[in-house]
Amino acid sequence: MSSGKHFGKGSSKPALPDDGVPRLYSMRFCPYAQRAHLALLAKQVPHHSVYINLTEKPEWLVDVSPLLKVPALQLVAEKGEPSLIESLIIVEYLDEKYPQCPLLPKDPLQRAQDKILVERFSAATAAFYKTLVSDGDINDFWKVADIFESELAKRGTPYFGGSKPGFVDYMIWPWFERLAVLKFAVKERYSFDVKRFAKLNAWIELLLQDKVVKSFFVKPEDHVEFFSTRQAGNANYDLLA
Amino acid sequence: MSSGKHFGKGSSKPALPDDGVPRLYSMRFCPYAQRAHLALLAKQVPHHSVYINLTEKPEWLVDVSPLLKVPALQLVAEKGEPSLIESLIIVEYLDEKYPQCPLLPKDPLQRAQDKILVERFSAATAAFYKTLVSDGDINDFWKVADIFESELAKRGTPYFGGSKPGFVDYMIWPWFERLAVLKFAVKERYSFDVKRFAKLNAWIELLLQDKVVKSFFVKPEDHVEFFSTRQAGNANYDLLA
């Protein structure tokens, strides 16, 4: 992994070893990019991380991520060094390409059900974002969380993936890691109801101890600090560098 | 397949044979539902189609599609008779469950690239919809079509799937089948530039002759008629029944 320093406009393209391992173009505080990091780390796929200043993007970004998006996974060992985009497509690619530590179940029905669950979480990511930047209602986030609380009860396992974290766990985790940002944004209107979310609360505690989550963890106060600086128009990308 | 008649509020649940084959809850003019039909037909998976009046949904829909969505594929042979939703997830499920006539490539990189392409088409579906119902700019649709024109050139094959239609072809086709609706909506502002879209134009001609597309085809004037009645608030769901 890189030092966590973000490359911006005017920067030189990072000199990476010619080792053929995938390069993940990312932003340290982006929850979608975090999905790709978690999958790479869970599956122990060697990779390089290159962090991008999304406010002032480096001129060379177009060469490695033609749509200027992050996350982008550049496959330098493949012909033409193509880049993959879209966090879920990147993660499914990694799960198919690197069979070790599978994230999605093998059974087609269970795979589809896990994908549907993550798709349903997009209502939560939308509510999260709206609550932060406009007049979104935080209850819309909790309503989606209800679905996940019920699902944990239905599955009867500590993780959505069973006895260990899997696709659903890692794909929704980034927003739970950022609950402090939600709290910071809505102040006294925030309330995480531990009775309503008893199972999710236990799940959060377990994931906070998960070695994959820990290896890419950002502390609540740092998430809040990044959010505050971004809201103020001077995002402190290098907060952790 | 059913007669094409749509079940609405107050209707009795259709009596289907207890044969264990999947049941697709659909709406005859829904482009997303069409994706699931095309996959089922391409892969020759036996199934029942049940069409739903989306304006006045039948009370029993909740039993077969708990989120009241179409398309929903109910797997009556599976424990609990679960329903899958989200057109792309349904199609990927079918492709994994029924290996015959594969739609997605086997290679993880090519699979990811096909999925990214279909994901990029969502900008076209958004532009299509906005152009019909609000003040969308039809050029936003053509701009996405440019990507697909280039991609056909890059792949050097008549179909996105190679020598026959595959995942990308069938997943984007429903909107090309409905170009007449776009033309109807914008009148003289419509122009399909056959020079700009030479390859897409040839691709459209080929798909119009494809037996899968033909077996679920709706004529341009019928698409327009359905759109007009829906805009007028009295959608003629049973136009073809």
Q: What is the mean pLDDT of residues A167-192?
A: 96
Residue B169 is assigned to a structural domain of this protein: yes
Across the A:B interface, residue pairs with CB atoms under 8 Å apart total 56
Tokens of B150: 């280039």
Tell me: do A10 and A88 sit in the same domain. yes
A101 tagged catalytic? no
Tell me: do A79 and A144 sit in the same domain. no
Q: Residue B181 sits in which domain range?
A: 108-209
Tell me: do A209 and A115 sit in the same domain. yes
Q: What is the mean pLDDT of residues B24-37?
A: 98
Q: Do A109 and B85 count as a contact with CB atoms less than 8 A apart? A: no
pLDDT of residue A210 exceeding 90, the answer is: yes
Tell me: do A137 and A35 sit in the same domain. no
Residue B226 is assigned to a structural domain of this protein: no
Which tens digit of pLDDT belongs to each residue from B82-117?
Answer: 999 999 999 999 999 999 999 999 999 999 999 999
Q: In what order do the strands lie in the sheet with B48-52?
A: B6-7, B48-52, B23-26, B72-74, B83-85
- Enumerate the H helices of chain B as residue ranges: 31-42, 61-64, 87-97, 108-133, 138-155, 167-177, 179-186, 198-208, 211-214, 220-231
Q: How many domains does chain B have?
A: 2
Give me the CATH number covering residue A23: 3.40.30.10
Cα distance between residue B24 and residue B48, in whole Å? 6
Determine how many CB atoms are found less than 10 A away from the CB of residue B30. Answer: 18
* Helix (DSSP H) and strand (DSSP E) numbers for chain A: 10, 5
CB-CB: which of A75, A89, A116 is closest to B86? A116
- pLDDT at residue A1 in the model: 46
Q: Do A96 and B116 count as a contact with CB atoms less than 8 A apart? A: no
Residue A239 is assigned to a structural domain of this protein: no
Q: Do A115 and B78 count as a contact with CB atoms less than 8 A apart? A: no
Residue A89: its chain B contacts at CB < 8 A? 112, 115-116, 119
- pLDDT at residue B1 in the model: 46
Which of B69, B84, B114 is the best substitution to test chain A (most A C-beta atoms within 10 A)? B84
Q: What is the mean pLDDT of residues A223-229?
A: 97
Q: Which of A102, A119, A141 is where one domain is finished?
A: A102
Tell me: do A26 and A46 sit in the same domain. yes
First to last CA, chain A: 12
- pLDDT at residue A226 in the model: 97
Residue identified by tokens 């012909």 is: A79
Q: CA B52: distance to chain centroid?
A: 15
Tell me: do A115 and A53 sit in the same domain. no
Cα distance between residue B45 and residue B56, in whole Å? 29
- Chain B residues with at least one Cβ partner in A under 8 Å: 75, 78, 82, 84-86, 89-90, 92-93, 96-97, 108-109, 111-113, 115-116, 119
Q: What is the mean pLDDT of residues B32-38?
A: 98
Give residue A2's pLDDT band: very low, low, confident or very high (50, 70, 90): low
Tell me: do B124 and B189 sit in the same domain. yes
Tell me: do A188 and A207 sit in the same domain. yes
Residue identified by tokens 């959608």 is: B235
Q: Do B86 and A113 count as a contact with CB atoms less than 8 A apart? A: no
Residue A228 is assigned to a structural domain of this protein: no
Give me the CATH number covering residue A209: 1.20.1050.10
DSSP element (H, E) containing B23: strand B23-26
Give residue B134's pLDDT band: very low, low, confident or very high (50, 70, 90): confident
Tell me: do A60 and A80 sit in the same domain. yes
Tell me: do A86 and A185 sit in the same domain. no
- pLDDT at residue B2 in the model: 56
B102-111, B127-136, B175-184, B209-218, range with the lowest pLDDT:
B127-136
Tell me: do B113 and B199 sit in the same domain. yes
- pLDDT at residue B3 in the model: 66
Give residue B197's pLDDT band: very low, low, confident or very high (50, 70, 90): very high
Tell me: do A91 and A112 sit in the same domain. no
pLDDT of residue A26 exceeding 80, the answer is: yes
Residue A233 is assigned to a structural domain of this protein: no
Q: Which of B102, B126, B157 is where one domain is finished?
A: B102
Cα distance between residue A235 and residue B49, in whole Å? 52
Mean pLDDT of chain A: 96
Q: B13: distance to nearest CA of chain A, Å?
A: 25
